[in-house]
Each structure stands twice: as structure tokens, then as C-alpha cells.
Amino acid sequence: MSARDAPVPVDQRSRVERARQGDHECFALLARGAVRRLHGGAYAILRDQHLAEDAVQEALVRAWRDLPGLRDPDKFDAWLHRMLVHACIDLVRRRRRQVTEVRLEWTDGPSRVDISSQLADRDALDAALQTLDPKRRALVVGHVMLGMPVPDLAAALGIPLGSAKSGLHRALASMRLEIDDERAGVGKPAGELR
């Protein structure tokens, strides 16, 4: 029986191992399993449906190209998230402008019974994320939504660990203030920057 005729492995580590050896089908299965989560993260960072799709596609192309260099197959998901963050930042750099629309679609998490509360929370998060620059938005989305450790985010963004920690701390503090102000009904005068 040739390697091509062998049954496809079920666990992710085996799929990663076979994909590293050039098995397109195993890589397609890995990509299919991650694409929705990647798109949610890319959309939260880029705030644009089409750019998010481009970032996911770019991240998957990079992943296929660089997969043979992945040292630890068990860290495939974290490695793929780094690829996505890099792709998002590269797209922002190329476009040299910020997209103004954001709509969060949380991919995982507890479901809530009170829909109005859920919508209000999501709107508050959307508004708070809109106030961040793309790099800080990438820190928040990468850490909170994608579950990436801060050292991995720092490496993905090409910044020192201390800068990533302080940037994440400042971004979350800024978002908290924005959400608190919105809930308190405090509006900022036109043109005022925080």
C-alpha cells in the first residue's frame, strides 16, 4: 500500500506530520477546521469582511509554504494564529489606512439567555475596539479571542515582550474606560481624543 492509499489519520498531530511531508488533503482538513476561528480573529483585527478573507487566505498560504519548518506539530494552532496576526498586520501596512467598520462574532464562549444584554455587550466591545489602532487591536484579539500567549503575540508582531505586555494592558484599560463611559452615558465632545 502506498502512502497515498493509507487512511487519513484522525488526530491533529498526525495530520500536521503528514501535511509537513506534503499531504495536501491533511493540510486541507487542518485548514477547514481552523478557517472559521481564523476569520473571526482577522475580522476583529481588520474590521473589514474582504480584508479578513484576504488575511485568512494569506495566512493559510504562508502556513502551507512554511509548514515543513514547524518544529513542534503540537503547537500548530498557536503557530497558525501567529501567521494570521502577521498577515493582518501586513495587510494594514500595505493599505495604510484604517477600516472604520467592526462587527464582532465571538467564535467560542458561553451562550447567554438574555439576547438584549448580549447585543449591548457586543456593541460596547465593538465601540471600544474601534478606538484602538490596528496593532493594539491585534494584541487584544490575539490574546482574548484567539487565546494566544503574550510572548507568542510579541513574536508574531515583531515587538519586544515588554512592549506587548504594556500595549495589551493599555489597550484593555482604554477599552474599559470606553465601555464605562458608554454605560454611564458620558459622551465625548466632538473632536476630543483620548
pLDDT tens by residue, 138-187? 888 888 888 888 888 888 888 899 999 999 999 988 888 888 877 777 55
190: left (phi over 0), alpha (psi -120 to 50) or beta: beta
The alpha carbon dihedral of 97, 94, 48, 175 has a sign of: negative
Report yes or no: 175 and 132 within 8 Å, Cβ to Cβ: yes
Cα 64 to its chain centre, rounded Å, is 18
What the block records as the C-alpha cell of 96 is 495604510
Average pLDDT rounded to a whole number, residues 5-33? 82
- Cell readout for 79 is 503557530
In the structure grid, which three cell numbers stand for residue 194, read together?
483620548
Q: Collapsing DSSP states into helix, strand and coil, what is residue 81?
A: helix
Query: pLDDT-based confidence at 7, cuts 50/70/90?
Result: very low
- Look at the pTM and tell me if it is higher than 0.85: no
Residue 166: per-residue pLDDT: 93
Name all domains of the chain by residue range, CATH numbers in brackets: 12-184 (1.10.1740.10)
Helices (H), 67-160: 76-95, 115-130, 134-140, 150-157
pLDDT of 67 reads: 94
